[in-house]
């Protein structure tokens, strides 16, 4: 999250119109957080359907709010990238970074040892 704030507050005003990685970096980092939040919501839904109501826990609602805010932020900066740069360049870079950050976030979440 600190990386995202740095990119939004420092890099966007200075390099957003010339550096494609600024907007795409924000989208990718936030996108990986979106995936992790939705994974947590999915687990909560599964447990609720199995009879263990997860809606009574504040963590479920926090993950829901995080997912919604991440989705909105991600779409906002993706639209900025697509407005500023060529779609043929944005799409492959976004795909590669989003996938890489999501794998990294999953490894951290599930405590996978990377050797």
DSSP string computed for 3-31: HHHHIIIIIHHHHTTT-HHHHHHHHHHHH
Flag whether pLDDT at 3 surpasses 90. no
The single residue listed with the structure tokens 């009879």 is 51
> What pLDDT shows up at residue 115?
58
> What pLDDT shows up at residue 47?
95
The single residue listed with the structure tokens 């990238």 is 81
pTM: 0.82
Task: Please state, in angstroms and rounded to a whole number, the distance separating the CA atoms of residues 77 and 17.
Answer: 12
61-77 tens-digit pLDDT: 999 999 999 999 999 99
> What pLDDT shows up at residue 24?
94
- Confidence label for 112 from pLDDT (cuts 50, 70 and 90): low
Q: For the chain, report the end-to-end CA distance as a whole number of angstroms.
A: 25
Average pLDDT estimate for 90-100: 94
- The token pair at 23 is 């907007």
15-58 tens-digit pLDDT: 888 989 999 999 999 999 999 999 999 999 999 999 999 999 99
Which residue ranges make up each domain of the chain?
23-107
- The token pair at 13 is 């005003």
**Residues with Cβ within 8 Å of residue 57, at least 6 apart in sequence:** 44
Flag whether pLDDT at 85 surpasses 80. yes
Q: Taking the C-alpha atoms of 37, 12, 9 and 24 in order, what is their torsion angle to the nearest 10 degrees?
A: 20
């Amino acid at each position: 999250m600190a990386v995202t704030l740095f990119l939004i507050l420092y890099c966007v005003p200075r390099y957003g119109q010339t550096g494609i990685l600024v907007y795409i970096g924000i989208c990718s980092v936030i996108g990986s957080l979106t995936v992790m939040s939705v994974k947590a919501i999915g687990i909560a839904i599964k447990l609720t359907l199995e009879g263990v109501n997860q809606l009574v826990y504040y963590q479920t609602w926090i993950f829901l709010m995080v997912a919604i805010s991440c989705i909105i932020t991600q779409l906002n900066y993706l639209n900025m990238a697509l407005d500023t740069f060529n779609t043929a360049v944005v799409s492959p870079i976004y795909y590669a970074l989003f996938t890489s950050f999501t794998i990294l976030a999953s490894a951290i979440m599930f405590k996978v040892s990377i050797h």
